[in-house]
Structure 1
């Protein structure tokens, strides 16, 4: 068995040697990728600590944020190191069929879970803006808990299905044909449509609200208008940044997946490795992105008492304040 696996390793697992023929290049790549893994782990631990210390879990977006950070942390801790060792070394343990299948399952489960969590957060933000005064009535604890359970359950089931339908006998299990299309549509393209639809709807709602505020003529309302317009700009910028990073990181991988397995387009091992790690880096970017966009978390570092001021409602802007307040939790 050992000799047969050595032969399999030589024919299927050492593709990286042709790309990086010298040890120096391989070591540099490994160091760089391990650095990314370390940043991913530390960044998500940092975000989890910040959110949990601040509390306010009545804001359901914080619950989704912690669950997303756990998924992203797991990618940095479990998936990234295995990918580095598997692709750049000849350690037999990381080329064992069982070990590879476990890695493949974890990779699929955590990546899909991260996408689903991002989608849930966009839906939560959509509810916050469209129906701000009914937000807490709609996003109840039971609904949020059920949503998280569904996210993780579907991700686990998807990984099991991928393992059962994956092509065996190679060092990099892959799903081919119609299964690739189904998985890609359910795991990425359908959530992508939901994310874009929610973002466009939020942007239109915020823009319409800004147009309404411009019609205010009193001095008090002029000041209010200025504050709200600044808030609108923040909301729009947040939506653009979050969606852009999500699309940039995940689209190349799933596009390659469709082209390779459905249209039989061949890509070099280095290209596949690049788009795979580009998808991984979304887990690296997320914690820092959410922290620096999240005015509340940054304010809590300066003065937690300032946060109370943002809960004040006025007769003319209570709906706007509550919606924007929740949206800017990011």
Structure 2
């Protein structure tokens, strides 16, 4: 350890993770930096796409842009330093101030991500359960207020955990019982339970309305519900991938806190990077789901053109063309 490094700082042992073989370090570095590149480029494309279409009357798009910004921060300011810390023994990458800053951003972004999904799920629940009052409830002021909460609350949590944790370390994040337990419950498990309940309610509302006899304006109303349900289903898929990515980390965090023992550096590094991988996966899932809906729209238009001589078919197809994602 470099003598210029402060006495109480904690250095991650890169050799414990990657061994001394230079070719293994190079392979791992290329692979991880590839994930960072895909995450950065993918989220930039998502932001550009949503900004260019300018459909901000759909409040959900604002939350998608904000989520893409969160994933960008994780890619640039969390994933890259994580790679460098475990591949280099440079003291400035391991001093206490650097560790606290990276930990703050890590906690802030992971918490902000799940809160974004919580807001988007709530937005879809309101759109489906109260379609006539949606624009009265989700006003511009409400959306701005929610965006402020999505950034300020995770920042405060990250600041508290990184500042008042006496054993702060990115190598062994589960060292302290109280921060690990409270942080996991507040940041992950409570929002997780809330999102599961809201998605079940959305599914039950749509299922219940499918059994109603629909005619006239009711048909148009049900088409609107189906459109909003497709968006809610997209959010559920993205949220499911988020949970699959971060559950191993928070499960390890709870296990370490309850057993009051720490796991190896390698285990922490693996479960942490499984969580980081979600920031790479989100934009490509978004693109894939959006492409499917664009293809559905094209097929609907083609079908409408072919069957334009049948009045009842024309009515159905013209209503169904609204079933697009954006």
Deviations 1:273-292 (A, max 9, x none): 11111111111111222232
Corresponding residue for residue 136 of structure 2 = 137
Corresponding residue for residue 183 of structure 1 = 183
Map 1:28-47 onto structure 2 (within 5 A): 28-47=27-46
Corresponding residue for residue 162 of structure 2 = 163
Q: Is the Cα–Cα contact under 8 Å of residues 178 and 262 in structure 1 kept in the other structure?
A: no
Corresponding residue for residue 102 of structure 1 = 101
Change in 2 beyond 3 A, CA 1:42/1:232: closer
Q: Is the Cα–Cα contact under 8 Å of residues 11 and 94 in structure 2 kept in the other structure?
A: no
Change in 2 beyond 3 A, CA 1:229/1:191: closer
Q: Is the Cα–Cα contact under 8 Å of residues 51 and 297 in structure 1 kept in the other structure?
A: no
Deviations 1:25-60 (A, max 9, x none): 121111111000110000000000000000111111
Which stretch shows the higher mean deviation, 182-191 or 290-299? 290-299
Corresponding residue for residue 93 of structure 1 = 92
Q: Which runs of 5+ in 1 are unaligned?
A: 307-315
> 1:240: Cα distance to partner?
5.0
Corresponding residue for residue 280 of structure 2 = 284
Q: Please, what TM-score do these two structures have when normalized by structure 2?
A: 0.81
For these two proteins, the number of residue pairs brought into alignment is 307
Partners of 2:238 and 2:119 lie apart in 1 by 13
Provide the alpha-carbon RMSD of the alignment.
3.7
Q: 2:256 aligns with which of 251, 254, 260?
A: 260
Corresponding residue for residue 111 of structure 1 = 110
Change in 2 beyond 3 A, CA 1:165/1:3: same
Which stretch shows the higher mean deviation, 126-135 or 262-271? 262-271
Partners of 1:147 and 1:171 lie apart in 2 by 30
Map 1:1-330 onto structure 2 (within 5 A): 2-3=2-3, 5=5, 12-14=11-13, 16-21=14-19, 22-168=21-167, 172=171, 174=173, 176-212=176-212, 215=213, 234=230, 238=234, 240-294=236-290, 298=294, 328-329=325-326
